[in-house]
Structure 1
Amino acid sequence: MKAFSAFILFTCCLINVHSQSVPVKQDSALIKNDTIKQEQFLKQLGNGYFPTKFVNIDLRYLVKYNQYEGLRTGLGGITTSSFSDKYRINGYTVYGFKDHRFKYSIGGGFRVNKKTQTWINLSYTDDLQETGSSVFLTDKRFFSFFEPRLLNIDLFHKHITKAISLEHQVSPYLLSETQFSTSKIDPTYDYSFVADEKTFETFDISSIKLSLQWNPFNNFKIENDNVIETEIGYPEFTLQLTKSFKDLLDGDFNFFKFDFRTHYEYKFKTGSIFDAVLTSGIATGQTPLTHLYHAYPNNINKETILQRFSVAGINSFETMFFNEFFSDQFTTLQLKHSLQPFKISERFKPQLVLISRFAIGSMQNMDRHQQMSFETLDKGYSEAGFEINKLLFGFGLSFAYRYGAYHLPEIGDNIAFKFTFNVSL
């Protein structure tokens, strides 16, 4: 955290010095150019990069923390267009102080077509991944100085993954990425998977993924033959298909996955915002727990409310305990209504957010998953609550209550009281 604080202070000072370096009597064109540079710098920083001429430093790897690795710190980066506009190199190295292990990734790509932003990428990764998580290849880079759920996650599996992928912009509204990969999977917890009358404690996955991101209501402009997004429109749609192959490059299982997500946001003239996220996934065939679904839980497995006091996530179930539910078919619906901020003063503008979440799911062949105890979501899981954000330096408070079919006997076990953190550049 000291390194993080120093970095923020350095960044603020750098921006401040830069903004004061332009004389008042300068030409308006120079002032405009200076403003553009500041905006570009802040945009890069908001995207998770500290820009330099030849390499953009990746801020995701500086400081993180989770229950398995403890403090995780390292350095990463990607080459810029000044290095080459046809080739790129990216990678990172991190170290976990609790598991005493280095993790790393090295990759690169070359551009096949500039107009359609078609790239072929290669990568080699030796790292951890949260069990039950599902990541869309075409997700835009999401960066946050503070990743709330990560603090509480303890269920990871090691993976060594070799991948080749093809990025292609079908149209300004439709992005695609296709990836073929082979992975050696080693759970860090006691788990075995039964398939074809064999028991696997470690296993190999050979799979191909096709991911599509369709944003039909976005606005764009063409600048120097590049498509630049000028306004985000809603709803947005993301689809991903995954097929694994048994006996292909030592793959152990055949399974198929279908993942879908849609995001809708509506801004009222009053300043309030309604936000809805619908996520669904289906896995069929011989799918190990590592590649199944959780429902974004974010509640620590401790006895009292105060012991569970932590940080609320962005789109997570705050009252659902980690590793409590897994599914091979699931759907979640998360609704938020952010009221117009209360303007108490120019600097103090807290905001009330009303929240409702619902999840439903099921699991076939639960007996395949050995040494793990969990429930399914077939009865439907519900929680509701609120957040009061930006009370002090971006921090706020959240409250959520678990009700319905999975309501627990002890009232305190159904309550999640946490703080929030919201900051934007």
Structure 2
Amino acid sequence: MQKYCAYLLFMVCLWSAQAQVPTKVGDTLTVVQQDSIKKSKFFKQIGNGFFPTKFIDIDLRYLFKFNQYEGVRTGLGGRTNENLSEKYRVNGYVVYGFKDHTFKYSVGGGFRVSEPTDTWINLDYTDDLQETGSSTFLTDKRFFSFFEPRLLNINLFHHHITKAISVEHRITPYLLSETEFSRSNVTTTYDYTFFVDDKAFKEFRLSTAQMSLQWNPFNTFETVGDVEVEKEGYPNFTLQMTRSFKDVIGGDFNFFKADFRTIYKLDHTADGKSFTEATLTSGIATGKTPLTHLYHAYPNNIDKETILQRFSVAGINSFETMYFNEFFSDRFATLQLKHYLKPFNIAKKMQPQMVLISRFAIGDMHDIDRHQQVTFGTLDKGYSEAGFEINKILFGFGLSFAYRYGGYHLPEFTDNVAAKFTFNISL
């Protein structure tokens, strides 16, 4: 409970830091406009995951997290801002895991090639952990979620030391791109052997090229003072392609991956408080792809005997009844539907909101016998769950309930049920 309260306390501090005391610098309209501009700048930075100071923007992703392998993970990260230089930047972080007793870090920098297209060339060196089976988009680094509840239960990680060069480029106001070339040394933190080409790999080297595209064709732009505020529109689309090369800078495997995601949101009320959201995600990996770079379909259930023992925090777009490490795929697709009802107006500061949820996943895997010392299933029969959330009951906390049915329904009724609490805060 203390770690969740710490999140809440920190965000209250952020809000308080922006409290404005009126002073006589002109007429009332001028004060209001200046106040609005300052807040717009501040919340734009917060929305990108940074707390701004004079010369350095503090990266909020590294202050505090928790997972089953590292326990408490805490540290400090940041990057230099335009007050120090508009053409160059330095970024990095250092974190420490109190359970694995290990420091992780990253250091890098970049220089801007073009201001109108926001084009940057970056160099990075990273020594850290990554969740096995996670599929992340390069362009998602520009978007930020302060509280990531699913991280609390993850226990399957691989360690990587990665050297990378990347290019960020805004092709149009609605199309972002990032291209990266990297060389990684990968070692799993669990027992795993990848058997391929009559060789058994306990650790391996990857030389990869990635291109990620984020297309937001329905975004709108509004100028507030000298700040351009971007409002998200729907649907939006993300596509990423990854190619791994054998015998290029010592790479061990040839494989190819393609990942896709689209999000659609339909408002039912003018104030946007009641809406329906659909998220479609898919991926395919061909060639000799190790488990570390395959797909797990976003599970978020602990393998414990009773419902109360499995009680934890519900994720944002995760399968609440799917157990961690239960399924892996080299090709998969998920569809998640959420319908947000209008909040219940119980009191001014107590307006809980019910969300109806349905999720479906399907997948499969070729050459499953390549992955040894680990046991998992595939999603070829189709995985289904349905449930609901009641969010923001008190101090941002709520409750979540989900039920697993269909092809992977379990014999014991209670094993199909997930009851958790939710945590939602809004700036």
Aligned residue in 2 for 1:365: 367
Separation in 1, partners of 2:130, 2:330: 18
Q: Is the 8 A contact 2:329 2:379 kept in 1?
A: yes
Q: Which letter does structure 2 place at the counterpart of 1:190?
A: D
Residues 371-414 of structure 1: per-residue CA shift (max 9 Å, x gap): 00000000000000000001000100000000001000110000
Q: 1:138 is paired with a residue of what secondary structure?
A: helix
**Which runs of 5 or more structure 1 residues have no equivalent in the other structure?**
none
Q: Is the 8 A contact 1:354 1:385 kept in 2?
A: yes
Separation in 2, partners of 1:222, 1:25: 22
Deviation, 1:347, is 1.4
Q: Is the 8 A contact 2:359 2:385 kept in 1?
A: yes
Separation in 1, partners of 2:191, 2:383: 27
Aligned residue in 2 for 1:345: 347
Q: Is the 8 A contact 1:172 1:220 kept in 2?
A: no
Aligned residue in 2 for 1:97: 98
Distance change >3 Å, CA 307–CA 258, structure 1 → 2? same
The alignment covers a number of residue pairs equal to 422
Please say if 1:413 is aligned against 2:415.
Answer: yes
Separation in 2, partners of 1:39, 1:171: 23
Aligned residue in 2 for 1:401: 403
Separation in 2, partners of 1:20, 1:223: 21
Q: Which letter does structure 2 place at the counterpart of 1:312?
A: A
Deviation, 1:9, is 4.8
Q: 1:269 is paired with a residue of what secondary structure?
A: coil
Deviating 4+ runs (over 4 angstroms): 2-6, 23-27, 221-226
Separation in 1, partners of 2:169, 2:403: 43
Separation in 2, partners of 1:109, 1:224: 28
Deviation, 1:144, is 3.3
Q: 1:248 is paired with a residue of what secondary structure?
A: coil
What is the TM-score normalised by the length of structure 1?
A: 0.95
Separation in 1, partners of 2:199, 2:226: 55
Aligned residue in 1 for 2:164: 163
Please say if 1:76 is aligned against 2:77.
Answer: yes
1:388 corresponds, among 347, 372, 390, to: 390
Q: Is the 8 A contact 2:399 2:420 kept in 1?
A: yes
Please say if 1:106 is aligned against 2:68.
Answer: no
**Which runs of 5 or more structure 2 residues have no equivalent in the other structure?**
none
Residues 201-239 of structure 1: per-residue CA shift (max 9 Å, x gap): 00000000011111111123689999x453322110111
Separation in 2, partners of 1:4, 1:221: 31
Residues 343-369 of structure 1: per-residue CA shift (max 9 Å, x gap): 112111110100000000000000000
Q: Is the 8 A contact 1:46 1:424 kept in 2?
A: no
Separation in 2, partners of 1:368, 1:225: 56
Deviation, 1:170, is 1.1
Deviation, 1:118, is 1.2
Alignment of 1:244-263 (within 5 A): 244-263=244-263
Residues 311-362 of structure 1: per-residue CA shift (max 9 Å, x gap): 0000000000000000000000000000011111211111010000000000
Separation in 2, partners of 1:115, 1:43: 19
Alignment of 1:4-83 (within 5 A): 4=7, 7-16=10-19, 19-22=20-23, 26-83=27-84
Q: Is the 8 A contact 1:389 1:420 kept in 2?
A: yes
Separation in 2, partners of 1:281, 1:146: 25
Separation in 1, partners of 2:13, 2:274: 34
Distance change >3 Å, CA 41–CA 173, structure 1 → 2? closer
Q: 2:145 is paired with a residue of what secondary structure?
A: coil
Alignment of 1:149-298 (within 5 A): 149-220=150-221, 228=228, 230-269=230-269, 271-298=273-300
Deviation, 1:29, is 1.5
What is the TM-score normalised by the length of structure 2?
A: 0.95
Residues 79-122 of structure 1: per-residue CA shift (max 9 Å, x gap): 11101111111100000000000000001111111111111110
Q: Is the 8 A contact 2:37 2:225 kept in 1?
A: no
Please say which of residues 391-400 and 23-32 is displaced more in the overlay.
23-32
Distance change >3 Å, CA 237–CA 42, structure 1 → 2? closer
Distance change >3 Å, CA 3–CA 279, structure 1 → 2? closer
Aligned residue in 2 for 1:328: 330
Deviation, 1:167, is 1.1
Q: Is the 8 A contact 1:218 1:229 kept in 2?
A: no
Q: Which letter does structure 1 place at the counterpart of 2:53?
A: T
Distance change >3 Å, CA 144–CA 178, structure 1 → 2? closer
Deviation, 1:125, is 0.2
Q: Which letter does structure 1 place at the counterpart of 2:110?
A: G
Q: Which letter does structure 2 place at the counterpart of 1:30?
A: V
Identity %: 67
Q: Is the 8 A contact 1:386 1:399 kept in 2?
A: yes
Aligned residue in 2 for 1:319: 321
Deviation, 1:21, is 4.4
Q: Which letter does structure 1 place at the counterpart of 2:362?
A: I
Separation in 2, partners of 1:118, 1:46: 20
Separation in 1, partners of 2:155, 2:58: 28
Deviation, 1:289, is 0.1
